[in-house]
Amino acid sequence: MATYSPTTRVGQLGGGGDVLPPSNGGGDDGGFQGSSLPNYGARLRRARLGLICAIATVSMVFISLTSAYVVRQGLPTYDGTINSYVRDWGMVQLPWQLLAINTLLLLLSSLTMEAARRDITRRSALAPLKSIPGIALGDEKSFPWLEVTVLLGLGFLVGQWFAWGELKSRGFFVDTNPNSSFVYLLTAAHAVHLLGGIIALLWASITSLQHKPVEGRRIVVDVAAWYWHFMAVLWIYVFALLAFAR
């Protein structure tokens, strides 16, 4: 616990803001709303931290759904006609080929997403050089990785839509049996979260058309990329759960 040292000049202590030194860094106060000279490094760190929290909470949603899945699967149900307990989990014929294609699409999109992230990271690192007189970086045409990722992501969602249609045509509806309920629930929950990622990517694409600073866009793309990879891992998990814990 702090105590006064004998040399303290107590009389000079001020309680008000007037004794405070001017802003001298710490890197923590840049980049909030309204700032005209944002500190991109601090903003990126902050956005990544926020993303970790978001991933934690999305994980909790899927952990609780998994827990419900496992519990519901093991529940015995009383069947009055045979006077004993039976398992009513039921079976679902998953459209394997379609789901495999969707999985490939999503994994591919993860690769293009990573390419987009690295591309914009490189460009944002070079951005300060452009302001130096006499330095021209050339009018480089970068591949539209972001747009390709959005297309692949939308392709995955359309593929999932077809997968649900296939399930329907095979006679498996949401309320057919608990197994089919969970198939729809888990795939839909993942699709909703992926849609959030697509919206973030679309936003990043739109801001690139508005010629906003590349450093700011890089933050959106970086965070969206990590989220996107998480979505890919999450899909593998959901797929594995549906495939192996039937």
Partner 1 sequence: MATSATVHAHAPQGFIRKYIFSLDHKVIGIQYFFLALTAVWVGMFLSLLMRIHLLWPGASLPLVGEIKPETYLSLLTMHGTIMVFFVLTTAPQGGFGNYFLPIQIGAPDMAFPVLNMLSFWTTFVAFVTIIAAFFVSGGAPLHGWTGYPPLSAIPQAGPGEGLGADLWITSIAIFCLASLMGALNFLTTTLDMRAKGMTMMRLPLTVWSWFITAILGLLAFGVLLSAGILLLMDRNLGTSFYVPLVVVNGQVMGHKGGSPLLWQHLFWFFGHPEVYIAILPGMGVTSQILSTFSRKPIFGYKAMVYAMLAIGFFGFMVWGHHMFMSGMSPYSAFAFSLLTMCIGVPSAIKTFNWLGTMWGGHIRFQTPMLYAIGFVSLFVSGGLSGPFLAQPVLDIQLHDTYFVVGHFHLIMGVAAIFGMFAATYYWFPKMFGRMMNETWGRVHFFITLAGTYAIFMPMHYLGIAGGTRRYSQYTELAYLQKLMPIHQFMTYAAIITIAAQFIFVINLFWSMFRGPRASDNPWQSTTLEWTTATPPPHDNFGGVTPVVNHGPYEYGVPGAARDYVMQTDPATISSH
- The residues of the shown chain that bind partner 1, judged by CB under 8 A, are 1-17, 19-39, 42, 45-46, 49-50, 53-54, 56-61, 63-65, 67-68, 71-72, 75, 77-78, 88, 174-175, 178, 181, 185, 189
Q: Which amino acid is at 65?
A: L
Q: Give min distance, CB of 151 to partner 1, in A.
A: 28
Least Cα distance to 38 among 46, 29, 47 occurs for 29
Query: Least Å distance between CB 79 and partner 1?
Result: 9
How many angstroms separate the Cα of 123 from the Cα of each of 57, 130, 141? 32, 10, 12
Could you tell me the smallest distance in angstroms from the CB atom of residue 193 to partner 1? Answer: 12
CB 127 within 8 A of CB 213: yes
Nearer to partner 1 among residue 105 and residue 222 (C-beta): 222
Q: How many CA atoms lie within 13 A of 30 on its CB side?
A: 16
Question: Considering only CA atoms, which of 231, 228, 44 is closest in space to residue 149?
Answer: 228
CB of residue 12 vs partner 1: minimum separation in angstroms? 8
CB of 32 to partner 1, least distance (A): 5
163 within 8 A of 83, measured Cβ to Cβ: no
Closest CB to partner 1 among residues 67, 93:
67
User: In whole angstroms, how close is the CB of 45 to partner 1 at the nearest point?
Assistant: 6
Q: What is the DSSP letter of 131?
A: T
Q: Which residue has the tokens 């198939």?
A: 183
The nearer residue to partner 1, 1 or 132, going by C-beta atoms, is 1
Measured CA angle at 98 (ends 96, 101), to 5 deg: 110
Q: How far is the CB of 35 from partner 1 (least distance, A)?
A: 4
Cβ distance to partner 1 smaller for residue 1 or 209: 1
Partners of 86 in beta bridges: 77
- Per DSSP, the residues of 59-127 read HHHHHHHHHHHHHHHH-EEEETTTTEEEE--------HHHHHHHHHHHHHHHHHHHHHHHHHHHHHHHH
CA distance 221 to 144: 13
Nearer to partner 1 (CB atom), residue 33 or residue 210: 33
Nearer to partner 1, 10 or 132 (CB): 10
Nearer to partner 1, 62 or 239 (CB): 62
